[in-house]
Structure 1
Amino acid sequence: MKIERLSQDKIRIFLTFDDLLERGIHKDDMWREPPKLHELFLEMMEQAYTELGFDASGPLAVEVLAMPAQGMVIIITRGKVNEQRGAAEEEDELEDDIYDMEVTMEQTDVVMYAFRDFEDVIAAAAQLQSSGLSEGGVLYAYKGKYILAIDPAELEQNRFHAVIALLAEYGEATSVTFAVLEEYGKTIMPENAIREICSHFLS
């Protein structure tokens, strides 16, 4: 579980599928196990407080983005507490130990892996091409890393997991969302990145 502060009132939590499995939550059952998810949320809030001093009191907006290969990105934004509430009302809320949350959920199918070094991007592209995937892929630069994004429509269903395994060998799952990449990332190769990398950097 990785936690980072985005602003004074906003944090981002990245959970891999391994993180979820360690806590007894299978990715297909993510939204069918309320007690386990409640425990997971409490654990996340404790860790956010310990690591970042993020106090999750008051109303919270929780955005959950499920990604097919990487896991889950959870963005938590703390709202402004209404200062006109009475002390008795605040005590009641503390006793309940229930967070006032507004949850929105999204799912993206785009597979994204980050690479620290361009040599790793070349090595991954070479392996992908030799395994039969020579078309597709968009390459971005974002915060000192290279990120390869692949639309699953470009992958045959039976080769999906093999491609993920290859990408994981050279890169790492990233918590950056595709929307953030599109807006803030620098597009290096807008299409057929795998073929372009291989043709330019492999003799």
Structure 2
Amino acid sequence: MRIERLGQDKIRIFLTFDDLSERGIQKEDMWQEVPKVHDLFTEMMDQAYNEVGFDATGPLAVEVYALPAQGMIVVVTKGKYDHHHSGLGAPYDDELPEEVYEMEVTMEQSDTILYSFDDFEILIEAAHVLKHMLEDAGRLYKYNGKWVLQLEPEELEEVKVPAVIAVLAEFGEATSVTPAMLEEYGNLVMPENAVHLICNHFKRQE
């Protein structure tokens, strides 16, 4: 579980599939109200408080992004209590329990595959291994000092997806960045056919 502070009232939590499976949670469970998910959320908020000082009391907007190869990204934004709409009435305003999470949850599922590479040479190696599986695929960004390769589902044959992900995981790292963040904050280096272009212009290290 990786926690990043995005602002005074906002954090991003990156959960890998290993994080979920260790807690007995399947990806599909995140879409349902189950006790394990509540326990996981409580654990995330405790860790967020300990690591980055994020106090999660009060109303929270929780955005969950499910990604096929990486895991899940949870963005938590803190709101402010509105006593007029708390539903408890004036006599109870001072008795609101501290450990109450009022969550408004929105969920999005994306089939986009995103992996980051610290070094361009490593990306070149990965591209040469991938080129036999991918014809015309890949968009390349530079983001936060790393190279991020983005693959869309329509660019891949479904049967090849596990093999492609295995190669990406061997050379790169699952990233907590979303396609929308890349589009807004990343530097687009190759808008299309990135794997093919990298293989054409750069040779593998001997």
CA offsets, 1:116-147, max 9 Å, x none?
00011101100001x33231100000010000
Which residue is equivalent to 1:160? 161
SS in 1 for 2:97: helix
Q: Is the 2:133–2:164 contact (alpha carbons within 8 Å) kept by the matching residues of 1?
A: no
Which residue is equivalent to 2:189? 188
1:36-55 alignment to 2 at 5 Å?
36-55=36-55
Indicate yes or no: 2:150 matched with 1:146. no
Indicate yes or no: 2:32 matched with 1:32. yes
The letter for the 2-side match of 1:201 is F
Where do 4+ consecutive residues of structure 1 move more than 4 Å?
83-87
The letter for the 2-side match of 1:39 is D
1:112 to 111, 114, 118: 114
What's the CA shift for 1:80?
A: 1.9
SS in 2 for 1:94: coil
Indicate yes or no: 2:97 matched with 1:94. yes
Mapped to 1, the partners of 2:116 and 2:103 lie a distance apart of 31
CA offsets, 1:11-68, max 9 Å, x none?
0000001100000001133323510000000000000000011100111000111001
1:126 to 125, 128, 131: 128
SS in 1 for 2:44: helix
> TM-score, length-normalised on structure 1?
0.93
- Distance change (3 Å), C-alpha of 1:58 and 1:29: closer
Which residue is equivalent to 2:179? 178
Greater Cα shift, 79-88 or 170-179: 79-88
Mapped to 2, the partners of 1:161 and 1:142 lie a distance apart of 25
Percent identity at matched positions? Answer: 60
What's the CA shift for 1:192?
A: 0.2
Which residue is equivalent to 1:23? 23
CA offsets, 1:69-93, max 9 Å, x none?
11100000001234788573342x3
Mapped to 2, the partners of 1:20 and 1:90 lie a distance apart of 37
Mapped to 2, the partners of 1:149 and 1:191 lie a distance apart of 10
SS in 1 for 2:51: helix
CA offsets, 1:146-201, max 9 Å, x none?
00000111111111000000000010000000001011111101110000000000
The letter for the 2-side match of 1:63 is E
CA offsets, 1:88-119, max 9 Å, x none?
3342x317x43111111111111000000001
Which residue is equivalent to 2:4? 4
Q: CA RMSD in A?
A: 1.7
For structure 1, the residue ranges without an aligned partner over 5 or more in a row are: none
Indicate yes or no: 2:56 matched with 1:56. yes
